Every structure is written in C-alpha cells, then in structure tokens.
Amino acid sequence: MLEPSTLEKILVEAGIIDAEHFARAVKEAEKSGTSVEDALVSLNILEETTLGQRIADAYGVPFANLREKRLDPELVRRLPETLARTQRLILYDMEGSTPLLAMHDPSDLETIQAIEKGDY
C-alpha cells in the first residue's frame, strides 16, 4: 500500500482529483479498513485503470492492465501465494530472464530486490 501522503502528492498536487475527494477517500478507508486506493475506486472518484496509470507514471514504470492480459498459471505460481497476497503483486510475464511484475506499490524496493535475487 502506498502511504496516503504519497498518494496525495501523486493525485492532488498533480491536479488529478481535489483535496476534498481525497479526504473523503481517506475517511472511507479508515472507516472500512481498506486502502485509500481501494476507497478512491469504490467511491467512484477514480477508475481503477486511471489510478494505476497515474501511480505508474509517478514512479516512472510501465502500467500493466491485467484485465487485458492472458495470465499463464505456471508463471503466476512462480511466486509464493503468501508473498503475492501480502505484497499485492503478480508475475504476469517474462522479458527474457527479467520478470515483469504488476504491483500495488511500485515503491516497494525491498520486495522488488528480493524477487530479482530469488529470495522469496
């Protein structure tokens, strides 16, 4: 999960949404026990793909819309399910020997480095 302050910089300071909508999503996330990202989508403040694209742009990484990709179950199973669930990530393709990951938090360098080293 991205820190709310980071998400606020990505969305509010860039003019994607206003501070009032962001505050509403933060309040809903606290009330429902979900992430601010999930609250933004469930409150129809942002579409999931728009949110994902903006986060990817902010981190300078490509956005992968998994709804448009056919996932290979064998590839998906290369990462332990517990890791995939707790870190909210999925191995969706390979580019040569480089794994392509879709992740909820592209700033999680510790997880990225562990996967690159095979330490998972």
Q: For residue 112, what are the domain limits?
A: 66-117
pLDDT, position 112: 87
Amino acid at site 8: E
Q: Tell me the whole-structure pTM to 2 decimals.
A: 0.80
CA distances from 30 to 23, 25, 27, 34, 87 (A): 11, 9, 5, 7, 20
Write out residues in the chain with pLDDT < 50, as ranges. none
Q: Within this chain, do residues 17 and 45 fall inside the same structural domain, yes or no?
A: yes
Same domain, 32 and 53: yes
pLDDT score of 77: 92
| Same-domain status, 12 and 49 | yes
Q: Which of 83, 68, 75, 74 is nearest to 99 (CA)?
A: 75
